[in-house]
Amino acid sequence: MFKGYISHSTKQVRWIINEKASFLIPYLGQVHEIKNNDFFTILKKDDYKIICEFKIPQADNEQAYLVKIYKYPHLFQRIKNLLKHTRTFREFNTTYITGSRGISVEVPVTHGEEKRLFIKKSYIIIKKIKDSCTLREYFKSNASLEERRRVLRKFGKLAKEIHDAGIKQDDFSLDNFLIYKDVEGKEKIILIDFERVSVQARCLNERRCTRYLAKLNRAKNYFSNADRLRFLMSYTNGDYKYCKRLAQQIESTTIRIQKKDARKFHVQSIRENRKFGVFKNSRFYGLYKKKYQPETLLTILKMAEETDETVLYTNQFQILRLFENPAILRRQGIFRRTWMHANALFALRINVPIPAGLFIKNLSGKLNEGFLISETTGNCIPLNKYPDFNQNKDKISFALLQFVKQISPFGMLSKDIKAIDILVQVSDDLRLKCYLGNYKLFCINHFSVQRNMQINLQLVERLLKTNDNL
């Protein structure tokens, strides 16, 4: 069925393995009984999935391999696998088909299924490419301007080839493309992570292509307008009219996707799930993002408890003190709504601090004081404390204008906004970027971009002219 692959069995696991990787056969038994030891390094583990790494010594170096193991602990999942292929087989099969259609991929070296009465586990092993990184990591790096432009053109061409080949990548993002240099020293980009990939016989229609490109466009903070134009010109093979029309469609679709993301995060942020957690102890009830440890956030919180300030900045974290009248308390309403709103704004990918955690104080059985902790980027200071404001007023005005352009497709600022609510970041090249420090001062709406833009510009102009706020 798969050209260049052979069958092999170990205990209850049936494998198909690339003939060129047959030297891995002696190690397959260890993969079946995987443990975190000197041979295997577990990178991720939960109830349904394990990702680990192992290395095989070769002539003059070592070759690393990634192993994905999917577990099916529930009877319903095992019964469902009787009716369709396992996740690892679908991932292996779509990668193989994608590669056969001329798309640059790294086809897994082996796939296996542990089967007794039902399938209990499935395995996939992929060769790890040395000195590689995702495109997100690459565009964060300090690559030369010439190389960056060259990579953007190659990326645009590859994206077009993927769509013309009928490859449907539902998670079309910078994290699912890998870049490295081949033996000739040239940059090569490949498509990775086929968990959410399917293939069709014909090329994708324009509507689906636009949607996938819009998902990619959510990472616009990594690119200038010239970068995005360079990518689209390569994608459209230099057709400027088509490029212009496609850019407009992508921008409008991106806004719709970001609003959908905001609604999703708004609900998810108060529930225990893969991204968010719930914390409780004798003093606090908390909601937090799982990338942050609640103990670390509580340590930061101690500094806020020692002062009466409503806004505190420490160690690249912002702490907002929130209050609510206990007499009208309804299930920590204002605190939870502020946390939900903060995560919705973050999902819009506008310039706001990253919401890290919400901790509500328990006083005499009533919750009437809360703290919202957010992570800020480096070198952020409130606008009212920005030094030499008058000398840099033109730079600040330009940064605020860019900020207004970014937020206006989604809503408008509050008329109560003050200079202390705007954070200014100074980059290494002395460029300025503005952030909204107080989440409560932005309202998501469905008004036109022009209407929001007009009101936001008026508020920013008033902000700059009001000496009391500066």
In a domain, 263, yes or no: no
pLDDT at 386: 84
- Is the residue at 269 inside a domain? no
190-204 pLDDT, tens digit per residue, is 999 898 899 998 999
Q: Do 117 and 141 belong to one domain?
A: no
**Structural domain contains residue 268:** no
Whether residues 91 and 204 fall in one domain:
no
Domain boundary among the residues 127, 151, 173 is at: 127
The answer as to whether 266 is a domain residue is no
- 425 shares its domain with 364: no
pLDDT in tens, 347-368: 999 999 999 999 988 765 555 7
CATH code, domain carrying 413: 1.10.510.10
- 145 with 240, same domain: the answer is yes
Q: Can you list the alpha helix ranges (DSSP code H) found in 105-144? A: 135-140
Among 307, 341, 304, 330, smallest CA distance to 319 is for: 304
Domain assignment present for residue 102? The answer is yes
Same domain as 220, residue 176:
yes
Q: Which residue has the tokens 């583990």?
A: 45
- Confidence category of residue 214, pLDDT binned at 50, 70, 90: very high
Per-residue model confidence (pLDDT) at position 28: 85
Whether residues 85 and 110 fall in one domain? yes
State the number of CA atoms in the 13 A half-sphere of 41 facing the CB.
Answer: 8
161/211 same-domain check: yes
How far lies 172's CA from each of 215, 239, 249, 255, 413, in Å?
Answer: 6, 23, 17, 16, 31
Q: What is the pLDDT of residue 423?
A: 92
Angle value at C-alpha 450, between 464 and 210, nearest 5 degrees: 120
Mean pLDDT computed over 55-75 = 83
| Rounded Cα–Cα distance for residues 218 and 349 (Å) | 7
Are 413 and 407 in contact by the 8 Å Cβ rule? The answer is yes
* Domain harbouring 43, CATH code: 3.30.200
pLDDT tier for residue 442 given thresholds of 50, 70 and 90 = very high
Residue 116 forms part of a structural domain: yes
How far is residue 309 CA from its own chain's centroid? Answer: 33
Residue whose token pair is 């009716």 = 83
Q: Is the confidence at residue 469, as pLDDT, over 50?
A: no
The confidence band for 329, taking pLDDT boundaries of 50, 70 and 90, is very low
**Pair 204, 157 in one domain:** yes
Query: Distance (Å, rounded) from C-alpha 262 to C-alpha 341?
Result: 9
51's CB contacts (< 8 A; 6+ apart) are 42, 43, 44, 45, 66, 67, 68, 69
Most confident of the ranges 128-132, 269-273, 312-316, 407-411: 407-411
Residue 284 structure tokens: 């606090």
Q: How confident is the model at residue 227 (pLDDT cuts 50, 70, 90)?
A: very high
CB atoms within 10 A of CB 390: 7
Q: How confident is the model over 156-168, as a mean pLDDT?
A: 96
Query: What is the number of domains present in the chain?
Result: 4
Which one of 317, 349, 375 terminates a domain?
375
For residue 265, which amino acid is it?
F
Tokens describing residue 98 = 């994608």
- pLDDT by residue (tens digit) across 245-267? 999 999 999 999 999 999 999 99
**Domain span including residue 445:** 380-469
Greater confidence (368 vs 410) lies with 410
Most confidently modeled of 78-82, 306-310, 389-393, 406-410?
406-410
DSSP labels, 211-275:
HHHHHHHTTGGG--HHHHHHHHHHHTTT-HHHHHHHHHHHHHHHHHHHHHHHHHHHHHTTS-SSS
Which range, of 134-148, 157-171, 330-344, averages the lowest pLDDT?
A: 330-344
Please tell me the distance from the alpha carbon of residue 14 to that of residue 187, in angstroms, as a whole number: 37
Give 152's DSSP letter. Answer: H
What pLDDT, on a 0 to 100 scale, did the predictor assign at position 468? 44
User: Which tokens is 24 given?
Assistant: 């891995």
pLDDT at 146 over 70: yes
Mean pLDDT of 143-153: 93
Long-range contacts of 51-56 (CB under 8 A, 24+ apart): 53/128, 54/27, 54/30, 56/23, 56/24, 56/27
State the pLDDT at residue 326: 55
Closest residue by Cα to residue 68 from 86, 94, 81, 82: 86
> Percent of the chain having pLDDT more than 70?
94
Alpha-carbon radius of gyration of the chain: 26
Confidence of residue 467 (pLDDT cuts 50, 70, 90): very low
Q: Among 348, 375, 402, where does a domain finish?
A: 375
Residue 315 lies in a domain: yes
**251 & 292 share domain:** no
Say yes or no to pLDDT of 33 above 60: yes
Q: Clarify whether residues 242 and 165 are in a common domain.
A: yes
Mean pLDDT calculated for residue range 327-342: 75
The one-letter code for the residue type at 4 is: G
Strand segments (E) across 262-365: 276-280, 284-289, 311-314, 317-323, 354-363
Across 45-65, average pLDDT: 84
Q: Which residue has the higher pLDDT, 427 or 141?
A: 141
Whether pLDDT at 241 is above 80: yes
Task: Verify that 138 and 227 share a domain, yes or no.
Answer: yes
Question: How far apart, in whole angstroms, are the C-alpha atoms of residue 231 and residue 224?
Answer: 11
The pLDDT value given to residue 402: 93
Winning range, highest mean pLDDT, from 40-49, 252-261, 303-312: 252-261
- Mapping DSSP onto H, E and C, the string for 355-399 reads EEEEEEEEECCEEEEEEEEEECCCCEEEHHHCCCCCCCHHHHHHH
User: Where is pLDDT greater, at 390 or 396?
Assistant: 396
User: Would residue 13 count as lying in a domain?
Assistant: yes
Exposed/middle/buried for 125, CB within 10 Å: 0-12, 13-18, 19+? Answer: buried
**Residue 294 burial (CB count, 10 A):** 22
Buried b (16+ CB within 10 A) or exposed e, 302-329: eebeeeeeeebbeeebbbbbbebeeeee
What are phi and psi for residue 153, nearest 5 degrees? -65, -45
- Cβ contact 227:152 at 8 Å: yes
Please check whether residues 420 and 394 belong to one and the same domain: yes
Measured between alpha carbons, how far apart are the two ends of the chain, in Å?
71
